[in-house]
Amino acid sequence: MSRFPGQPYFDYRGDQLYVEELPLADLAREYGTPLFVYSKASMLAALGAYQRGFGDRNAKIHYAMKANSSLAILQVFAQAGCGFDIVSGGELERALAAGAKGSDIVFSGVGKTRAEMKRALEVGIACFNVESEPELEVLSEVATSAGKEAAVSLRVNPNVDPKTHPYISTGLKGNKFGVAHDRVLHAYQRAAQLPGLRVVGIDCHIGSQITDVGPYLDTVDRMLDLVQAVETAGIPIHHIDFGGGLGISYHGEQPPQADALWAQLLAKIDARGFGSRTLMIEPGRSLVGNAGVCVSEVLYLKPGETKNFCIVDAAMNDLPRPAMYQAYHAILPVRTRDDMPHTYDVVGPVCESGDWIGHTRELAVNPGDYVAVMSAGAYCMSMASNYNTRGRAAEVLVDGTKAHLIRERETPAQQMLREKLVP
């Protein structure tokens, strides 16, 4: 059993850190660093908890692919029966390329363009999660001009505090997402009147990295109150989409397990008389976050007057969460040493003081060693950039004793491919 909460498919065997049946050091030597390594078994186990939670309910799980949109990751979930929650036309094309059908896809996001709407209608997506009243008007125009009917669900802003980082809170009245709670009934009445639209559901999403069941329970009550109000006005709601946002363990957090969480939510849904409704959810981070690590080589150990620096070859362009959210990722040696550990700030080569991976970490490492930045499966590669003309890292998917290279390391030539010098 792994000693790492939430990451049971990563553990030490002797002095070597393994992913499933493979030593991470072997993968680093073969594919180079920085290197993202994912455990297929971890992803399927996380998905299995949701599937157990729903049992034989009429429910559909749509993976929120903004967490990690690498094609092979999407393929794993498509083959396991997931649909996809997308937020852009690019994500639509990725989902289709990974084997999804249009009917497997729901389209969220506050700024859908007319071109994105048209393309989504062409491939027959299951539903648009509409986030504003003006979006309803535009979608109606696009659908009628294309001779199509758009299935719509209104994303409600329930004004529930998810008790998470403000940058990843999405369900408070000060956030940009969703239709304001007091405008929901009016918006549904307008949607029912507009040509080219067919109301099918209601949707919400209150935030990300939520570790407390309380906000979810509050959201269920507010959502079901709204369903009753909308249906009393004569507009049937066929599905209820409760979004995602369940957190993972980065630094000792203890979020509820997906099956335990849904046992509580379903009990409340049943008690309110909505147990036979079609249910949808959109988990992202909780499926992939603890399935991945980023392996990086130690370049230099640099002593300083007030702190010591461990300079590694991964940087904020590979691992943006610490710089963006002051997020914590555990950092572990890929091979343990008997040497006395020292306290380091672990930093990357990018020319920004914000380029740090972890502050005040106890590590026994030498230049040339590898370290593993844990819990890096979500919002790392999907947010990676080419800052400082750094190529995006390679990615490997591990399945037992097999390693599959699922993304080649990006070269400078590939980065410059579409740029032009002026004659």
On whether residue 180 sits in a domain, the answer given is: yes
pLDDT at 188 over 90: yes
Distance in angstroms (rounded) separating the CA atoms of residues 106 and 69: 15
What's the whole-number mean pLDDT along residues 185-197? Answer: 96
pLDDT at 305 over 90: no
Distance in angstroms (rounded) separating the CA atoms of residues 276 and 152: 20
Q: Does one domain contain both 135 and 251? A: yes
Cis omega (within 30 of 0) for bond into 162: no
Any residues with CB less than 8 A from the CB of 230 and at least 6 apart, and which?
A: 184, 185, 188, 202, 237
Residue 275's CB is within 10 A of a number of other CB atoms, namely: 14
Average pLDDT of the chain, as a whole number: 93
pLDDT band at 383 (very low <50, low <70, confident <90, very high): very high
pLDDT given at position 211: 86
* Residue with more model confidence, 254 or 372: 372
Q: What is the CATH number of the domain that holds 197?
A: 3.20.20.10
Tell which residue, 36, 92, 95, has the closest CA to residue 379. Answer: 36
pTM: 0.94
Identity of the amino acid at 249:
S
Q: Does one domain contain both 295 and 261? A: no
pLDDT at 362 over 60: yes
Q: Does one domain contain both 273 and 333? A: no
pLDDT band at 205 (very low <50, low <70, confident <90, very high): confident
Distance in angstroms (rounded) separating the CA atoms of residues 402 and 36: 15
Question: Residue 277 has what DSSP assignment?
Answer: S
pLDDT given at position 170: 45
Distance in angstroms (rounded) separating the CA atoms of residues 118 and 134: 16
Residue 50 marked as a ligand binder: no
On whether residue 79 sits in a domain, the answer given is: no
Residue 370 marked as a ligand binder: no
User: What H or E segment, with its residue span, contains residue 403?
Assistant: strand 402-407
Q: Does one domain contain both 257 and 304? A: no
Q: Does one domain contain both 275 and 361? A: no
Per-residue HEC secondary structure of 333-357 comes to ECECCCCCCEEEEEECCCCCCCCEE
pLDDT given at position 165: 41
pLDDT at 171 over 80: no
pLDDT band at 58 (very low <50, low <70, confident <90, very high): very high
Q: Does one domain contain both 186 and 253? A: yes
Distance in angstroms (rounded) separating the CA atoms of residues 104 and 150: 15
Residue 29 marked as a ligand binder: no
On whether residue 155 sits in a domain, the answer given is: yes
pLDDT given at position 30: 98
pLDDT given at position 174: 55
pLDDT given at position 182: 83
Q: Which of 227, 254, 283 is the last residue of a domain?
A: 283
Residue 400 marked as a ligand binder: no
Residue 32 marked as a ligand binder: no
Tell the residue number behind the tokens 């009990």, with chain if given: 267
Lowest mean pLDDT across 137-141, 154-158, 264-268, 376-380: 154-158
Q: Mind listing the pLDDT tens digit for each residue in 26-37?
A: 999 999 999 999
Q: Which of 283, 310, 344 is the last residue of a domain?
A: 283
Question: Is 204 labeled as catalytic in the residue annotation?
Answer: no
Q: Which two tokens stand for residue 39?
A: 């455990």
Residue 325 marked as a ligand binder: yes
CA distances from 91 to 63, 150, 257, 291, 371 (A): 12, 19, 28, 21, 31
CA distances from 289 to 37, 61, 147, 249, 335 (A): 12, 17, 41, 9, 23
pLDDT at 233 over 70: yes
pLDDT band at 358 (very low <50, low <70, confident <90, very high): very high
Q: Does one domain contain both 276 and 409? A: no
Q: Mind listing the pLDDT tens digit for each residue in 238-278?
A: 999 999 889 999 998 899 999 999 999 999 999 999 999 99
On whether residue 349 sits in a domain, the answer given is: yes
Q: Does one domain contain both 240 and 201? A: yes
pLDDT band at 169 (very low <50, low <70, confident <90, very high): very low
HSE-up (13 A, CA, CB side) for residue 50: 25
* Residue with more model confidence, 328 or 178: 328
Tell which residue, 288, 263, 154, 317, has the closest CA to residue 208. Answer: 288
Q: Does one domain contain both 293 and 259? A: no
Q: What is the CATH number of the domain that holds 327?
A: 2.40.37.10
CA 46 to chain centre: 13
User: What H or E segment, with its residue span, contains residue 136?
Assistant: helix 133-145
On whether residue 327 sits in a domain, the answer given is: yes
Residue 285 marked as a ligand binder: yes
Q: Does one domain contain both 258 and 330? A: no
Q: Is 171 helix (H, G, I), strand (E, B) or coil?
A: coil
On whether residue 82 sits in a domain, the answer given is: no
What's the whole-number mean pLDDT along residues 403-422? Answer: 97
pLDDT at 172 over 80: no
How many domains is the chain built from?
Answer: 2
**Residue of 204, 310, 351, 380 marked active site:** 351
Dihedral sign for Cα 211, 12, 19, 33, please.
positive
Identity of the amino acid at 66:
K
pLDDT given at position 160: 67
Q: Which of 283, 298, 315 is the last residue of a domain?
A: 283
> Which domain, by its residues, includes 17?
10-39+289-415
